[in-house]
Amino acid sequence: MRKHRPGPFDIPARDLVHHPGEMREFTLEVPAPEKWGEGLVSIPEGSPVRVEVRLESVHEGILASGRIETDYSGVCGRCLTDIAEPVEVEFQELFAYPEREASDFEVQDDHVDLETLVRDATVLALPFQPVCQPDCPGLDPATGERLTASTGSGQRVPLDSRWAALEQFTPDHDEDSSRA
């Protein structure tokens, strides 16, 4: 057996191991043990990570499903303003019993360790092109100044307004095809 160092995302599963049909629900709130993510935005070390998880004992192992809520911070990809936004992500993963086929996640004795799962799911949910607001105009190429200084993070322009303007250019296919 591997020597295990207890981790902050360990969930006790002694009651569930080899008891298919049993189920338990847990809620954790744990500070991120290190910075998560390498892009323009990331989860800072120490940032609270809330995890609601349901563990279900199944024949092959323990199925973990749930939801992660935390906040990322970093900079807008266009104007480099500091931004911080909530991120929410759902996950489902089977922690297999070690004696079965090799798997990314395994039940470890009497617990499952959600840390890698939670970290990877959270990092994947971070935007690659984060923006401070949907229509951020970026920086003035001449001066390097930010082009808008008026709106704070509280004001958002709905995406819908842009699509509404495009709709009038969309041909009506049904009408065209019915004409003889």
Q: Are the C-beta atoms of 75 and 99 separated by less than 8 Å? A: no
Longest dimension (CA), the chain: 77
- Cβ neighbours for 6, distance < 8 A, ≥ 6 positions apart: none
Residue with Cβ nearer Zn ion (79 or 107):
79
The nearest distance, CB 80 to Zn ion, in angstroms, is 7
Residues 49-88, mask of contacts with Zn ion (x by CB under 5 A): ---------------------------x-xx-x-------
Instruction: Provide the 3-class DSSP secondary structure of residue 6.
Output: coil
The nearest distance, CB 154 to Zn ion, in angstroms, is 14
Cα angle: 116, vertex 94, 107; to 5 degrees? 70
**How many residues lie near Zn ion (CB under 5 A)?**
6
Q: Are the C-beta atoms of 130 and 83 separated by less than 8 Å? A: yes
Contacts of Zn ion in 130-149 (CB under 5 A): 132, 136
Residue with Cβ nearer Zn ion (89 or 139):
139
The nearest distance, CB 67 to Zn ion, in angstroms, is 28
Angstrom distance (rounded) from CA 66 to CA 71? 17
Counting contacts by CB under 5 A, is residue 41 touching Zn ion? no
Binding residues for Zn ion (CB under 5 A): 76, 78-79, 81, 132, 136
